[in-house]
Amino acid sequence: MKRKPVLITLGITLIVVGAVWVYQFTQKNEVTTWDLISNDAVLVVELPEFNSIHIKIEELPVLKTVLSSSELLDGIFNSKFFQGNKVFISIQPTARDNFGFLVYTELNSSDWKNDIKRIGLPFSDSSLRKRVYNGIEINEQVGKEPQFSFAIIENILVMSESSFLLEGVLRLHSTGNNNLFRDKNISLFKLPTLKSDDGNIYINVSNLSDFMALFLQPNSIKATNENLHLNGGALADIKVSNKDVLLNGFLISSEVGLLHLFEKQEPQPIDVDGLISNKVATATHFGISNPAQWFDDQAELIKVNKATSTDSLIQEMLRLSVSVESLRKAVGNQFVNCYLGKGSDVVNILKLSEDASRISVFDELSSKLAEQKRDSLYTENYAGYQIRLIDYKNFLSQLFYPLAPPSEQTFFVQIGQFLILSESVELIKGFIDDVDTEDTWGKSVEWSKFLSSSLQESNINIFFDGKLTSVFLQDKLNSKWRTLFNKSNFLNIDKGAFQLSRLETNYYLNTSFQFSPSLPTQGNLERITYGFGSNIVTPPKIVRNHISKEIELVIQDSLSNIYLLSKDIKTLWKQSIDDQVIDGVKQIDFFANGKLQLFFTTVNAIHIIDRLGRYVEGYPKKLDLSNKVEFSQVVDYDRSKRYRYLVTEEKGNLILTDKVGNQLEGWNPRKLNGKMLSAAKHYRVLGKDYFLATTQTGSVNLMNRRGEMMKGFPMDLTMRPSGEVSITIGNSLSSSYFTAVSKDGLKVQFGVDGQIRKKEVLLKKAASSEFSLVKSTTEETYVFLRVDPGKVGILDTDGNTLIEVENPGSTKWKLIYIENRLKERFYCLYDEQQNFSYYFDFSGQLLLPQPLESTQLPTLFFNEKQKSLSIYNVDHSNLSLVSIKR
């Protein structure tokens, strides 16, 4: 009797277990999109409501441009078939230097054959080739590159322009899904997402460095791998508007790496924008709330990475009896790398701690290193600041491993509570100039507005100027991608930010991209002309209004009247000086009060006039000369506004006066015996002052401030220079040199030690080809002008042809060119023999349909805000302004 209940219970249990087994056996595991996305993906975009994102993309032309680069994506976003579907897009590498897209969406497979005709993608049934791979049919487009292919896995449609990627999905599905993005980044799928956004983006942070390697040259890949120690994953909501794209979410780090250094740091405010020059392409900013803890965590990271290169700095400081602890205590809460232009130009900004002493440990280290090497202590006064040198290799890269790049040496200057540091003293001077002239992010309305919309407190920040960054990347990209980035309006990204802020156990992620409208490569032309009655005898000279900061112009007519004109060539005042201006007008701040005056010379006098046309007291000042003035220059040794005036006589003698016009000892005159090629110039190289004067016969004179000839000079170039002489200032005297070229194309480079560095012959197009060296209006770069009987060419510093045009038969040509902040050049070729001027952009395209009639060398100005080029052209007594909107 007792067995009956037991048997009944056992029977019921068997029935239930059997039913469950039968149910599970007969049920299919439903495949989801995430079951088909490999961990090889760098990022995955999830678009839950395709209709909404499609509308917003229509409002943001830049995204339409990106999508049109892929026929697959362009077809999907323009197809009504997908507009009611949830769509996933994953990005994966396909080769060493390329990547591809996989697109996933759910569908009703029974309707697929009916929908294929109206999907809007570039194929039809008749153009498809079918094959089976791992038991699933692949459909491939026939006879077209890139080859579109798709497959249906249960109810998931997977599409790609790469059969390799599609086959990878099928292999993943057939092998049990053991390398899924979802499984490797499981923590991301526990994070909340917004339902009201435009989509979500999942980032495989661990794959980022490999993905970046697709675009870079090998040496840049190495630098990226050494410095980008990021691991884990990120999830962010996507918000798209008509001018920007915002990503907000979280990043979770899975291993010890760069982010480990900030796990115990609080987000910090960003207040260095007033020191970041507008020339900066990209700034990486690090916020450190507890430097002592940061250095402890750095020591742990150094052990993990086996970075033995950081040991030498500590050992050197101990040897010099400089306190390592004091150095670390001087570190404040912010460190910034500022990347400029092309190459490896970097300026660093360090905020000092509040208890950093006035005579800082940086000064102490600088002094003791100089003593150890038995060198004189490098100090240079510039614009009221003192620049010093830490003569130690990789100082910052060891101190802030792995945040700072390597360097041969470190110059530094203190501005308030900040240190500005760089391998190049010239870059530091440039930053000082930009701070003094308020040409910084903090004084830029556009940058201030952008920064105010970003996180105000954070730990890791990357801010970038999209156009300048395209320039910065040029020498770092491989050949496949350089052409795309070569366009300065790449993606029309104006500004961008990537920010990570420590939040409990992970990082809050904020990314924003602000886009600028597409600009035509050539826009409308505007022209205005004014007549002045008498012939204009000088090229228009651009000066700056110290009140409005706008440009103005100075010209002189044949009656010796000087005019100050507004930027739209309206007369502000006219002043008769009873003589002709020689070698143009310069601008000075005579009273060192921010108010600017005009400096110029006539045949035997120095003139200084204020912006209202009135002479400064004591001027004009006659010079005691034996010959007429041929050239004049203003010298400001350390930008202290204690001016010197350098005058070159017609027969080559040099006169140097003080600020009030008194001739200085050793320069009254400095006799050089020979007519000069161009104006004698002052240069400062690593804190030392040099005066360079080159005769037309090729004798080079290099003198110090007292007029004494430097060792190795005068030197004979054994050729007659043509055009100007250019200087390249390196990070040492040995890497600094001058460049000249002869008429027949012999290029010579020589150092400040009087030694020839290099000689080479530029390529001629004809036996009678003539060359000259021409510097930009800012004298920062130079090119070569080559005149042949049939062609006129502009060559780069290596002699490669940049632009070549037909020569209408003239032998007298002049060249002027300017560069904008993107290093784009605008050239004017002036036919002095036939009085015509021709204008070209950086790609060699004509800017004007017809040449201008010109009787003086025209003047060029590029307005960065309006993106317009202004040409000021003289034709006898008329002055014209031609504006080209770009």
User: What pLDDT was estimated at residue 120?
Assistant: 45
One-letter amino acid identity for 417?
Q
pLDDT at 199: 86
Most confident by average pLDDT, 20-29, 336-345, 505-514: 505-514
Report the C-alpha gap between 344 and 336 in whole angstroms: 15
Residue with tokens 């040449």: 851
Share of the chain above pLDDT 90, in %: 65
**What's the confidence (pLDDT) of residue 108?**
64
Selected residue with higher pLDDT from 69 and 657:
657
Task: Give residue 62's pLDDT.
Answer: 59
- Higher pLDDT: 553 or 467? It is 553
Eight-state DSSP code of residue 111 = H
Question: Residue 135 corresponds to which amino acid?
Answer: G
Which residue(s) pair with 105 in the sheet? 87, 157
Quote the CA–CA distance of 310 and 305 in Å, as a whole number: 11
- Name the nearest CA neighbour of 413 among 360, 340, 355: 360
Helix (H) or strand (E) holding 62: helix 61-68
Burial 700-736 (b: 16+ CB within 10 A, else e): bbbbebebeebeebbbebebebbbbbbbebebeeeeb
Q: List residues bridging with 742 in a β-sheet.
A: 721
Dist. CA 155–CA 111, nearest whole Å:
11
Rounded CA-CA distance 858/873 in Å is: 5
Per-residue pLDDT reduced to its tens digit, 3-16: 566 556 566 666 65
Give the mean pLDDT of the chain: 88
What does the pLDDT look like over 87-111, one tens digit per residue?
899 999 988 888 988 999 887 655 5
Longest dimension (CA), the chain: 142
Top pLDDT among 516 and 71 is at: 516
> Which of 808, 806, 776, 778 is CA-nearest to residue 792?
806
Query: 457 forms bridges with which residues in the sheet?
Result: 269
Cα–Cα distance for residue pair 503/187, rounded to 1 Å? 15
Average pLDDT over residues 813-819: 98
Instruction: Measure CA 451 to chain center.
Output: 18
Higher pLDDT, 707 or 193: 707
Segment 598-608 mean pLDDT? 96
CB 252 within 8 A of CB 232: yes
**Averaged pLDDT, 45-61:** 68
For range 359-382, the mean pLDDT: 90
Phi, psi of 197 (to 5 degrees): -90, -175
Q: Which residues contact 735 (CB under 8 A, 6 or more apart)?
A: none
Query: Does position 546 have pLDDT exceeding 50, yes or no?
Result: yes
Averaged pLDDT for residues 511-540: 84
**What pLDDT is recorded for position 25?**
45
CA pair distance 410, 349, nearest whole angstrom: 12
- When mean pLDDT is compared across 174-183, 425-434, 666-675, 800-809, the lowest value belongs to 174-183
Query: Exposed, middle or buried: residue 159 (CB in 10 Å: 0-12, 13-18, 19+)?
Result: buried
| Whole-number Å distance between alpha carbons of 694 and 519 | 45
> Does pLDDT of 129 surpass 90?
no
Residues 278 and 821: beta-carbon distance below 8 Å: yes
pLDDT in tens, 564-573: 999 999 999 9
The pLDDT score that the predictor gives to residue 504 is 83
User: Any idea which of 120-124, 268-272, 422-426 has the lowest mean pLDDT?
Assistant: 120-124
| pLDDT in the model for residue 24 | 47
For residue 843, give every residue at least 6 positions away whose Cβ sits within 8 Å of its Cβ, in sequence order, or none: none
Residue 525: band (very low, low, confident or very high) from pLDDT cuts 50, 70, 90: confident
3-class DSSP assignment, residue 752: coil
C-alpha span between 523 and 189 (Å, rounded): 50
Q: Which helix H or strand E contains 94, and what residues bound it?
A: strand 87-95
d(CA 105, CA 117): 17
Q: For residues 435 and 786, is the Cβ–Cβ distance under 8 A?
A: no
The residue ranges of every structural domain in the chain are: 33-184, 209-515
- Least-confidence region, from 7-21, 270-284, 866-880: 7-21
pLDDT of residue 1: 47
- Average pLDDT on 743-766 reads 96
Q: Nearest to residue 563, comparing CAs of 611, 618, 633?
A: 611
Distance CA 47, CA 36 (A): 16
Least confident stretch, 74-88, 240-254, 334-348, 350-364: 74-88
Predicted confidence at residue 130, as pLDDT, reads 86
* Residue range 607-632, pLDDT digits in tens: 999 999 999 999 999 998 888 999 99
CA separation for the pair 577, 603 (Å, rounded): 12
Q: How confident is the model at residue 558 (pLDDT cuts 50, 70, 90)?
A: very high
